[in-house]
Amino acid sequence: MKQKKISLLVKSLFLLPAIPAAFAQQAEEPSIQKVTVSGIRASVRSALSVKENSNSMVEVVASEDIGKLPDTTIAESLARLPGLAAGLDRGNASQIVARGMGERFIGATLNGRELASSEPNRAVRFEQFPSESLSGAIVYKTQNADLVEGGVASSIDLQTVSPLKYSGRQASLKADALYYPEARDLDTKAVRPRLGGIYIDQYADKNVGVALAFSYQKQPSVEKRKNHWGFNEDHSADINGDGKVDKTPWGFETELKRGTNERGSVLGKVEWKASPDALVTADVYYAKNRIREPAMSHWTGDLGNWDGWQSASYSNLDIRNGYVVGATVNNVGLTTNSTLWTQDMDNLAAGLNGKFNVGEWKVDADIATSSAGRDSQWRDVRQFSLNPGTIKWAFTGDESQDFSFSHDSGNPAAFGNPTLYVDTDGHVEDRLTSAQLSAWRPLDAGVVSRIKFGARFADREKKYHQTTWNLPSNSAIPDSAYETVNVSGFAPFIVLKDFTGAATSLWGANAFSPAGRTPTANDLLAGWKVKEKNSSVYAQADLEGELFGKTFRGNAGVRVAHTRQTGTGMESINGAAPTAAEGGASYTRVLPSVNLIFNLDQAQKQQLRFSVARAMSRAPMDEMRASRQLAVDTNPGSQQPITGSAGNPGLLPMMSNQVDLSWQYYFEKGSLLSAGVFYKKVSDYIGITTDDTTVNGRAATLTRSVNGKGGNVRGLELVAQHAFTSLPAPFDGLGVAANFSYNDSDIKEYTNDYPMVGLMKRNGGLTLWYEKAGYEARLSANYHSAFVRMPRWTAGYMIENPAETYVSANFSKWLTPQLQLRLGLDNITNQKVVETQSNNPYMQNVMEYGRRYNLGLSYKF
């Protein structure tokens, strides 16, 4: 299917030369310039130039050189921008948080085209975009009518290189060795490769430009983890005899991972100046991500003390606020798990664009396709201890987790026969096609300097299905198939040396294949498909004039967006076999916007920026499923309401009326002082709760996602940036960039009364850089306060991510005009990732990924 779509795009490219002949003459030449951006100072100046000249309030990431963004992926660069941060996945910056709002409020485009996502919702994993493939990114904090709707907090447009903007052939190659000390601690390979490159050239008297880029990285995926499973809140007992119920834990988990995260991408782009009146561009981007994570873990259950049956086994109690956070318990079992997590993700984005001159009109036509998929499977060879033992623990919060047991956990003979659990074999597919047409022309009509009109149409289909199974065994795996792993702070583990070989030898070659297996009822109820058809039209006027003695520019426009959505799935009533279910909605939203920039001085160094707009973010795709589990009183004449849990295909988009005001002072090249405030009035906020509705004409009370009342989001953003070029040498190579944001909101989640997902009250960063005589150096520290996030696929599973500070440094030296030596250090302070659950400080999942280093060479041709 993918090959057919690409083939159609390429064939269309060869039909377009006939189109310009129908257009009038008087062409607008494409913007061709010699790109000379090089080094930190140049990228800072380039980014500020785009920011200063934009009619919107934006943040910009600019390339330091051909194929060289400041970081390994665009996610790391975005996370350092004012008002932005990133959630971490496997130690890498991934999904973006902006202005205190989570990924549900972030729109993402590539060259102005909406992207499909391998996540169940709409969130884009920005770490899939390596530096070689992009020339930069623009983060729109305010709305324009000509922006694709979908980003209440921000819209992030990633941009690939334009080969016709370069004067002549250019190329760059990079090779790095990645070093992860944590991998060495886990007795696995600590050094892995990273390669990348880009080639740009022009042909046919510089009427055809070509860009080719690639990247490959095999990153160690290593982790140390200790996790609390939660407390018995409802059926605990008084253990110490003080007349109060002592809530006991369900159990704990310790885990070590030592896998690989392999990423590769390719970009191809062709620009063709077909005539003075036509510029045609075709581009294809493809990324593949392959994760293989062998892991070893211990599980301890049998601690819940249901209705007091274990009270006599408890001693050495540490009880705080009614919770047993430390104790010794006798006669409990232990589970050892040798596991393998597999995950394959692919992302494709391809498009064909034509820019044409028709008299005074400029026409832009674009067709695009984007697809994403994720195939994942968790495989667990699970064995139970043959003899009970004693468990000791002290989980007192603040990352304090001590956990030990008397079992002979490093001895395979201490455990019984294994069972293979495959939970689950899951598959996400997302396909999006779009077509856009816009036209604009200059106009001399008072303050209106240009008018622009456009339309966009898009079809999207996202679906998920899974299969779950387990295979018991009456035979043991030979002790020789295991190795014992000892890591400081953990009890000894046993792990299969060859997980796949050992499992297939016992359960057969098809042990991991879902083929021929019958999905369980839960599997069927977990599956879903959502279809969405979007259409929008807009009109926008660019403005220039004078008001109150000050010159101004900006734009004003309106976008009208219409959506028709359908969700399908399965439903089960009173545990019966699942049957098909379907629902949907249709809505239209009007999105006006005004952006004005007032020049406060004649030199136009000081600007006062004002924006007012109405914005929208559509509902998460997975929450629009029609799946539901229902309980119905079938007694004749019963008026009891239906109860259960469900998706909600009738979800409407979250809306925001918003205002931005900012003062910006560009006092030197590469220098800026800025202060801004924003306010958003959010309505139709989506959260999971239990609400009253109607099912098949009967009253029902369902737990599901609904549109709620919303609330206010407001914030302050401060930026200071300066290049100290006036200092005496060698200090004239110094520069600094600092930002701070404060965000607040009265929006509450419907789960545990959490603050709004993504709300970081304080967020900031400091970057010191130096560039002189071929030396480049950058030291960055980024901080955010605690915030709520949804780190799992399960909608409604929320945790509190505590305050974090992430520190990185980069150093490089040009050894020759072509050859550069580079050294990078990431997570210098060994920042851990901590998830606190259910507003309970004693329930923590603590993950340690360790520091990361890279040493590499770059060569320019």
pLDDT tens digits for range 334-387:
999 999 999 999 999 999 999 999 999 999 999 999 999 999 999 999 999 999
Q: Please determine, for residue 4, whether its predicted confidence score (pLDDT) is greater than 50.
A: no
Sorting pLDDT into bands at 50, 70 and 90, what band is 18? very low
- The predicted pLDDT at position 30 comes to 35
Mean pLDDT, residues 495-509 taken together? 96
pLDDT in tens, 609-649: 999 999 999 999 999 999 999 999 888 878 889 999 999 99
- CA pair distance 421, 469, nearest whole angstrom: 6
- Weakest-pLDDT range from 37-51, 106-120, 262-276, 823-837: 37-51
- Give me the chain's average pLDDT, please: 92
Q: Are 613 and 143 spatial neighbours (Cβ–Cβ below 8 Å)?
A: yes
- The predicted pLDDT at position 9 comes to 33
Sorting pLDDT into bands at 50, 70 and 90, what band is 791? confident
- CA pair distance 825, 830, nearest whole angstrom: 11
- With a pLDDT cut of 70, the percent of the chain lying above it is 95
- CA pair distance 621, 529, nearest whole angstrom: 9
Whole-model pTM: value is 0.92
- CA pair distance 42, 224, nearest whole angstrom: 40
Both tokens assigned to 361 = 């009109």
- CA pair distance 610, 143, nearest whole angstrom: 11
- Within 13 A of 53's CA, how many CA atoms are on the CB side? 6
* Bridge partner list, 611: 595, 660
Instruction: Give the SS3 label for residue 624.
Output: helix
- The predicted pLDDT at position 11 comes to 35
- The predicted pLDDT at position 89 comes to 86
- Weakest-pLDDT range from 25-39, 80-94, 356-370, 817-831: 25-39
DSSP character for 726?
A: T
- CA pair distance 181, 185, nearest whole angstrom: 7
- Weakest-pLDDT range from 94-103, 308-317, 693-702, 791-800: 791-800
- The predicted pLDDT at position 34 comes to 46
- CA pair distance 629, 633, nearest whole angstrom: 14
Sorting pLDDT into bands at 50, 70 and 90, what band is 120? very high
Which residues neighbour 763 within 8 Å (Cβ) at sequence distance 6 or greater? 83, 84, 85, 100, 740, 741, 743, 783, 784, 785
- CA pair distance 764, 739, nearest whole angstrom: 5
Sorting pLDDT into bands at 50, 70 and 90, what band is 13? very low
Q: Please determine, for residue 555, whether its predicted confidence score (pLDDT) is greater than 80.
A: yes
Q: Using CA of residue 59, residue 63, residue 97, residue 433, what is the dihedral sign? A: positive
Q: Which amino acid is at 86?
A: A
Please choose, from the candidates 673, 620, 689, the residue with its C-alpha nearest in 3D space to the C-alpha of residue 651. 620
- The predicted pLDDT at position 39 comes to 86
Q: Please determine, for residue 442, whether its predicted confidence score (pLDDT) is greater than 80.
A: yes
Residue 13: its H or E element: helix 2-15
Q: Please determine, for residue 813, whether its predicted confidence score (pLDDT) is greater than 70.
A: yes
- The predicted pLDDT at position 70 comes to 77
Sorting pLDDT into bands at 50, 70 and 90, what band is 88? confident
- CA pair distance 430, 588, nearest whole angstrom: 23
- The predicted pLDDT at position 10 comes to 30
- The predicted pLDDT at position 95 comes to 87
Mean pLDDT, residues 296-315 taken together? 94
Mean pLDDT, residues 258-285 taken together? 97
- The predicted pLDDT at position 635 comes to 86
Mean pLDDT, residues 315-332 taken together? 96
- The predicted pLDDT at position 262 comes to 96
Q: Report the 10 Å Cβ neighbour count for 767.
A: 20
Given the structure tokens 């606020």, which residue do they identify?
Answer: 321
pLDDT in tens, 173-217: 999 999 999 999 999 999 999 999 999 999 999 999 999 999 999
* Bridge partner list, 456: 436, 536
- CA pair distance 27, 24, nearest whole angstrom: 8
Q: Please determine, for residue 6, whether its predicted confidence score (pLDDT) is greater than 70.
A: no
Q: Which residue has the higher pLDDT, 119 or 4?
A: 119
Terminal CA-CA length for the chain: 37
Sorting pLDDT into bands at 50, 70 and 90, what band is 276? very high
Q: Which residue has the higher pLDDT, 440 or 4?
A: 440
Q: Please determine, for residue 485, whether its predicted confidence score (pLDDT) is greater than 90.
A: yes
- CA pair distance 57, 662, nearest whole angstrom: 8
Sorting pLDDT into bands at 50, 70 and 90, what band is 808? very high
Mean pLDDT, residues 694-700 taken together? 88
Q: Please determine, for residue 845, whether its predicted confidence score (pLDDT) is greater than 90.
A: yes
Instruction: Give the SS3 label for residue 177.
Output: strand
- The predicted pLDDT at position 71 comes to 82
- The predicted pLDDT at position 2 comes to 39
